[in-house]
Chain A
Amino acid sequence: MGQQTVAIEVSGLCKVFDGATAVDHLSFHVYNGEIFGLLGPNGAGKSTTLRMLITLLRPTGGRATIMGYDVEREPERVRATIGYVPQERALDRFLTGREHLLLLGDLYHLPKQEARRRIEEILTLVDLGAKADLPAKTYSGGMKRKLDIACGLLPNPSILFLDEPTLGLDVQSRLRIWDYIRRLKARGITIVMTTNYLDEADQLCDRIAIIDSGRIKALGSPSELKAGLGGDSLSLSIAPPSRARLDEFSTALKQLPQVRSVTTTSHGVEVRVESSEKSLQVVLETANRLGCQLDSIEYHRPRLDDVFIAHTGRAIKEEFPKPEEE
């Protein structure tokens, strides 16, 4: 991936609300053209971080630049560079889809002609053309989300910020929104999103920062993070599980370069490997060579859930009520 240029630089960013630290010295950067995810439970500080980046909240400390513009000193510049899709369906129910976009066109100071041209293009992109002239109160949840995203795209942003883009959507709408997000990335837009859905972060994001209690607990691509746990695990059980056999087998496995660690269990061995595809072959060969009769083989690839638990010490809950973060 062309990850040379940095779009967002965050260093030592802090936010304290009435003595309570919501964001605690966050530092990270986002590369141009990637989908960067802020993953964490509610109240972890993701939305607060996002709102500081889009200049809606003033940081208590630290600094952040968006395409080189400082969020505190050049907020107008930052706002002209970015698009924002808020968490709530932030729509005016009395305005039509098109009227939302026309209003925003004026707020981004687009000339009328240019605004009209872009609006047509965006409405087609998000498949809202047919409903564009109906008031937003007649829209379904998925359509409202599409209009939300259309609003975020109107300024033709270099960076699009999405706050919980699929929260509360049905499975089909979620998949469609993921599809749009991928299409936007294909157009070269850098995307920063918050989510508390692990599968969403896993499927969509190039890199994720796991945030808990206002701090980054882990940062990297989903596969890096999973590999960081020690790779996949293979469980092999041996038909007559004799102690001598098991010891011999495990000693042999430890010699293999692909194997990270081996633990002996009562029926067989647990092997930690870099990747199961690359190691399965040699592990089986070793078993053959030693004449071990294999009873069963299972492999388990760590999921993002495991990463999350490993770094925060607790599981993320999928559905819970949304309290205000402030």
Chain B
Amino acid sequence: MQDYRQEIGALTMRWVKRLSREKFSMLFTLVQPMLFWLIFFGNLFQRATDVQVVQAPNYISFLAAGVVVMTVLNNGLAGGVDLLFDKENGFLERLMSTPIHRSSVILSRFIFVMTITCLQVLVILGIAALFGVRPATGWLGIAIILLISVLFGVGLTAISMAMAFSVKSHGDFFSVLGFLSLPMIFLSSALVPLAAMPGWMQVLALFNPMTWAIDAVRPLILTGWTEALPKIGMVIVIMLVFDAICLYGSTRAFRRAMG
């Protein structure tokens, strides 16, 4: 147990050190593009949206929940990139030739990605607050938002790692990544509510776990506990199933890659 903590601590700190050495990357990680979605998209579409349709005082307060979950999506899907580089240059093999627990490298990556994701979600909520969007459920609501983010993020990071372990080249990795993320966003309730979508898109969006995450985060920000609670219960069940499937897949990919 002592050993396990020592190795996971050291591996997690390695990710932190890497990020802090890449000054630009760190800057762009904190001031991430998702922020621009909130600021520009949110304000730009203010007059083009019908408040009756979005059922929110303004578009930016409606969009906040979507941007929070989009942040989780982007972070999660990119979460395996560093492992991909480690695999390609042989560093992963070096790590795996030491007497560490098989899961330590992966676990350290989850801890790191989830921490960064939570920090970014807080930045998003902070910026949203500057535009007058304050979560209706207060600090406890924010804690629940972070919990949902982590639950969704774990599954996404697992998918990203599974891809990192299975792809032949990192070109493949990035093209799959680029292909996945936009439809995930448009086929969810991030930009418009489910009810306002064309029927066929609605159906597809229902199979997108992102929709469920957004629909739980949104009332936490916009309305309050009475509307939020049943959705939270629902999203937790869905996310646990989603995570279980993703973790199973990534464990298999990892086993295959590491013999």
Residues of A participating in the B interface, judged by any CB pair closer than 8 Å? 51, 54-58, 76-77, 79-80, 82, 84, 86-92, 94-95, 99, 102-104, 106-109, 135, 151, 155
Q: How far is the CA of A53 from the CA of B136 in the complex (A)?
A: 59
Q: Residues of B contacting A94 with CB < 8 Å? A: 17-18, 21-22
Residue of B nearest to A92 (CB): B91
What is the distance, in angstroms, from B232's C-beta to the closest C-beta of chain A? 38
Q: Residues of B contacting A151 with CB < 8 Å? A: 94
Q: How far is the CA of A92 from the CA of B94 in the complex (A)?
A: 11
Does B52 reach chain A (CB closer than 8 Å)?
no
Q: Knowing A57-B259, A95-B17 are in contact, say whether A108-B91 is a contact too (CB < 8 A).
A: no
A91 touches B91 (CB 8 A): yes
A55 touches B9 (CB 8 A): no
Does B175 reach chain A (CB closer than 8 Å)?
no
Q: Which of B21, B86, B93, B100 contacts A107 (CB 8 A)?
A: B100
A sample of 11 inter-chain contacts (CB < 8 A) reads: A56-B97, A56-B258, A57-B259, A86-B94, A86-B97, A90-B89, A90-B93, A95-B21, A103-B14, A107-B95, A109-B3
Q: Knowing A56-B259, A57-B259, A155-B98 are in contact, say whether A103-B10 is a contact too (CB < 8 A).
A: yes
Q: Knowing A56-B97, A56-B258, A57-B259 are in contact, say whether A109-B90 is a contact too (CB < 8 A).
A: no
Q: How far is the CA of A76 from the CA of B86 in the complex (A)?
A: 21
Instruction: Please name 10 further chain A to chain B contacts, defined as beta carbons within 8 Å, in addition to the given A58-B259, A90-B89, A92-B14, sorted by A numbering.
Output: A57-B259, A82-B97, A86-B97, A88-B90, A107-B7, A107-B98, A107-B100, A108-B98, A108-B99, A109-B7
Residue of B nearest to A155 (CB): B98
Residue of A nearest to B105 (CB): A107
Q: Specify which of B6, B9, B11 lies most central, judged by the most chain A CB atoms within 10 Å of its CB.
A: B6
Q: Residues of B contacting A57 with CB < 8 Å? A: 259
A79 touches B89 (CB 8 A): no
Q: How far is the CA of A155 from the CA of B100 in the complex (A)?
A: 13
What is the distance, in angstroms, from B254's C-beta to the closest C-beta of chain A? 13
Give the contacts of B103-152 with A (CB-CB under 8 A).
none
Give the contacts of B60-91 with A (CB-CB under 8 A).
86, 89-91
Q: Is the interface of B mostly helix, strand, loop or mixed?
A: helix
Mask: chain B, 209-231; 1 = CB below 8 Å from A; 0 = not? 00000000000000000000000
Does B96 reach chain A (CB closer than 8 Å)?
yes
A99 touches B17 (CB 8 A): yes
What is the distance, in angstroms, from B107's C-beta to the closest C-beta of chain A? 13
A109 touches B21 (CB 8 A): no
Q: Specify which of B18, B86, B93, B98 lies most central, judged by the most chain A CB atoms within 10 Å of its CB.
A: B98
Chain A to chain B: the 3 pairs with minimum beta-carbon distance, closest first: A106-B10, A90-B90, A88-B90
Q: Residues of A contacting B95 with CB < 8 Å? A: 107
Residue of A nearest to B20 (CB): A94
Q: Which of B18, B91, B97, B100 contacts A84 (CB 8 A)?
A: B97
Q: Residues of B contacting A84 with CB < 8 Å? A: 94, 97
Residue of B nearest to A80 (CB): B99
Q: Residues of B contacting A82 with CB < 8 Å? A: 97
B99 touches A92 (CB 8 A): no
What is the distance, in angstroms, from A72's C-beta to the closest C-beta of chain B? 11
Residue of A nearest to B86 (CB): A92
Q: Residues of A contacting B99 with CB < 8 Å? A: 76-77, 79-80, 107-109
B90 touches A106 (CB 8 A): no
Residue of B nearest to A104 (CB): B98
Q: Residues of A contacting B9 with CB < 8 Å? A: 106
Q: How far is the CA of A155 from the CA of B86 in the complex (A)?
A: 21
What is the distance, in angstroms, from B35's C-beta to the closest C-beta of chain A? 25
Q: Residues of A contacting B10 with CB < 8 Å? A: 102-103, 106-107
Q: Residues of A contacting B89 with CB < 8 Å? A: 88-91
What is the distance, in angstroms, from A150's C-beta to the closest C-beta of chain B? 12
Residue of B nearest to A90 (CB): B90
Q: Residues of A contacting B14 with CB < 8 Å? A: 92, 95, 103
Q: Knowing A90-B90, A103-B10 are in contact, say whether A55-B97 is a contact too (CB < 8 A).
A: yes
Q: How far is the CA of A135 from the CA of B90 in the complex (A)?
A: 18
What is the distance, in angstroms, from B213's C-beta to the closest C-beta of chain A? 33
Q: Residues of B contacting A92 with CB < 8 Å? A: 14, 18, 86, 91
Q: Residues of A contacting B258 with CB < 8 Å? A: 56
Residue of A nearest to B98 (CB): A107
Q: Residues of B contacting A86 with CB < 8 Å? A: 90, 93-94, 97
What is the distance, in angstroms, from B135's C-beta to the closest C-beta of chain A? 37
Q: How far is the CA of A76 from the CA of B96 in the complex (A)?
A: 10
Q: How far is the CA of A109 from the CA of B11 in the complex (A)?
A: 12
Q: Specify which of B6, B91, B93, B99 lies most central, judged by the most chain A CB atoms within 10 Å of its CB.
A: B99
Q: Residues of B contacting A90 with CB < 8 Å? A: 89-91, 93-94
Q: How far is the CA of A86 from the CA of B97 in the complex (A)?
A: 10
Q: Residues of B contacting A103 with CB < 8 Å? A: 10-11, 14
